[in-house]
A and B are shown apart, each in its own frame.
Chain A
Amino acid sequence: MNPTRRSFLKGGTGAVVASVLGFDLKPAFAQAKELKIARTTETRSTCPYCSVSCGIIIHTIGDKAKNVTAQVVHVEGDPDHPINRGTLCPKGSSLMQDILNERRLLKPQVRRPGSDHWEDIGWDQAIEEIARHIKKTRDETFISTDSQGRTVNRLESIAWNGGCTDTNEFNYLAVKTMRSLGVTYLENQARV
């Protein structure tokens, strides 16, 4: 059947009138929010926070082409990892903020004795000063034997407290260093 111009116009007008008069042709599809990880690159990694070492998946946008800097959009547990099987603790769940956080400290700072504020300091100067303080304190207060003459080789005048976002590997090095100095008052979150 070949529609004539007249019958086409008739039919078309009828359809328009019908749709205006109460035939809602739009299907009732759910307006669910778009899945924000639908087009991300998944990179498997390990949570750096404690020695449990949960498996994580880091979701980034950007395809890692040469001229692209990928951006982390979401981090969640790796369901295939035998340790956590997809779960994460509250710290692990906030891992995205380990990367994207305006409060990240990006340079060394020092708070002098008696001071009420932090001031910027160069890396070289910071390391130099820390080394000097440690050397001086350790030379003055190192305890090699206790009151009964037993060898103890400990250093009670220095304490080490690791921060909550120190990575597992960093804490490993910190413990090695502090133990080699004889520090006994030693705590960090990799002890979990």
Chain B
Amino acid sequence: MSNGPLQIKAISGHAGPVPGRDASRDYDVCKLVDVTTCIGCKACEVACLEWNGYPFRETVFDNTYQTMPDLAWNYYNLIRFDEHVAEDGTLSWLMRKDQCMHCADPGCLLACPADGAIVQYSNGIVDFQQEHCIGCQYCVTGCPFNIPKFNKETKKVHKCTLCSDRVGAGLEPACIKACPTGCLHFGSKDDMKELAETRVRQLHEHSSHKNAGVYDPAGVGGTHVIYVLHDKDHPERYGGLPKDPQIPLLVRLWKGPLKWLGNIAIAAGIIGVATHYLRFGPKRAEEETKGEPK
């Protein structure tokens, strides 16, 4: 990331392409989750906890193999288990690694009012800086994937960092490294998209999943975590993955037009007060007449 030598993008008077251009893969990182090869072993969950130094915790039984019903402030990564019965009666057991999607257009960042509490690095990672967090939880409202989780004791919000510390040092995230089936991959966004497409072609040709596809929702500008799904038309089967995630309209309005309307209203108010003062002068106390004896 920032500590490497600078990569040259263009050279003056140089014939042909710039040597080594686009060879560096650390500008736009991406995590690929191939849910068709996930076996639900939860190695990624454990590796995530271990790396982030959070305690191993008691699980919550919810009639599934899922560790607990939802993510927690100190549990960034959860495999969601869902049973799906198709029309022909066949059962499929769907497992999906749920974590922050690291949107290119992050709703959390848009909604956040605290300076520096949420940052987006040049490689696409969206990271929360807890020391600047004011605990307002607007990011929870802004997230279309319901990812940020609030710690009631410290009044800070936490979520997956895509192991920004590891990625910054040239390592892959902890979950990626642990995955024993090779269901998780990490690399540049272009490489991961290509790998995902290759896998989708494989599924089309060699399996019954004729509707397999890549999940990289355009509604949030694409994500830096992409999925290969058995059925790209029904992402909601995988523990409620939204089909077309959007930043809530209210957040868009409130951080866009409404913000400017508000600024204009403030400016107009100040101008109005000044004009009134110039036109009518200061307000003087009226002469006390009523209470005086005649």
Whether A94 contacts B127 by the Cβ 8 Å rule is no
Chain A CB within 10 A, most for which of B56, B116, B180: B180
Known A-B contacts A35-B165, A38-B169; A90 and B177 likewise in contact (beta carbons under 8 Å):
no
A32 CB to closest chain B CB, in angstroms? Answer: 5
B2 partner, pick from A30, A35, A93, beta carbons under 8 A? A30
Interface status of A97 (Cβ within 8 A of chain B): yes
Contact, CB under 8 Å: A88 / B169: no
Known A87-B177, A87-B180, A90-B43; contact A31-B50, beta-carbon cutoff 8 A: no
For the complex, count residues of B whose C-beta is within 8 A of A. Answer: 29
A29 at the interface (CB under 8 A from B): yes
Question: How close is B67's CB to chain A, nearest CB, in angstroms?
Answer: 10
What residue of chain A has the Cβ atom nearest to residue B177's Cβ?
A86
Most buried by B among A31, A76, A87: A87
* A116: Cβ under 8 A from any B Cβ: no
- B43, A32: Cβ atoms under 8 Å? no
Is the CB–CB distance between B56 and A93 below 8 Å?
Answer: no
Q: Does B166 contact A (CB under 8 A)?
A: yes
From 157 to 204 in chain B, residues with beta carbon under 8 angstroms from any chain A beta carbon are 161, 164-166, 168-169, 174, 177-180, 182
Q: Which chain A residues border B51 with CB–CB below 8 Å?
A: 36, 74
Per a CB cutoff under 8 Å, which of A33, A74, A79, A89 touches B180?
A: A89
Q: In the complex, what distance in Å separates the CA atom of A56 from the CA atom of B14? A: 47
Q: Measured between C-beta atoms, what is the minimum distance from B54 to chain A in Å?
A: 12
Q: Which of A33, A76, A89, A92 is in CB contact (< 8 Å) with B164? A: A33
A77 with B169, Cβ < 8 A, contacts A30-B121, A93-B46 known: no
Interface residues in A50-105 (C-beta closer than 8 Å to B): 74-77, 79, 84, 86-94, 96-97
- Residues of chain A at interface, number, CB under 8 A: 26
> Given the complex, which residues of A lie within 8 Å of B116, measured CB to CB?
31
Give the contacting residue for B50; candidates A34, A89, A96; CB below 8 A: A96
Please give, as numbers and ranges, the residues of chain A lying within 8 Å of B127 by CB-CB distance: 30, 32
What separation, in Å, do the CA atoms of A36 and B43 have in the docked complex? Answer: 20
Q: Do B43 and A88 have beta carbons less than 8 Å apart?
A: yes
Interface string of B29-57 (1 = CB under 8 A from A): 00000000000011101110011010010
Nearest residue in A to B175 (C-beta to C-beta)? A93
Q: List 17 A-B contacts (CB under 8 A).
A: A29-B2, A30-B2, A32-B165, A35-B166, A36-B51, A76-B47, A76-B178, A77-B177, A79-B177, A87-B180, A88-B43, A88-B180, A89-B180, A90-B46, A91-B46, A93-B43, A93-B178
Q: Give A residues with C-beta under 8 Å from B.
A: 29-36, 38, 74-77, 79, 84, 86-94, 96-97
Other 18 A-B pairs with CB < 8 A, given A89-B180, A93-B47: A29-B2, A30-B2, A30-B127, A32-B168, A35-B169, A74-B50, A74-B51, A75-B50, A76-B174, A77-B177, A77-B178, A87-B177, A87-B179, A87-B180, A88-B43, A89-B43, A90-B41, A94-B50
The 3 closest A-B pairs by CB, nearest first: A93-B46, A93-B47, A90-B46
Question: Residues on B close to A: CB < 8 A?
Answer: 1-2, 41-43, 45-47, 50-51, 53, 56, 116, 119, 121, 127, 129, 161, 164-166, 168-169, 174, 177-180, 182
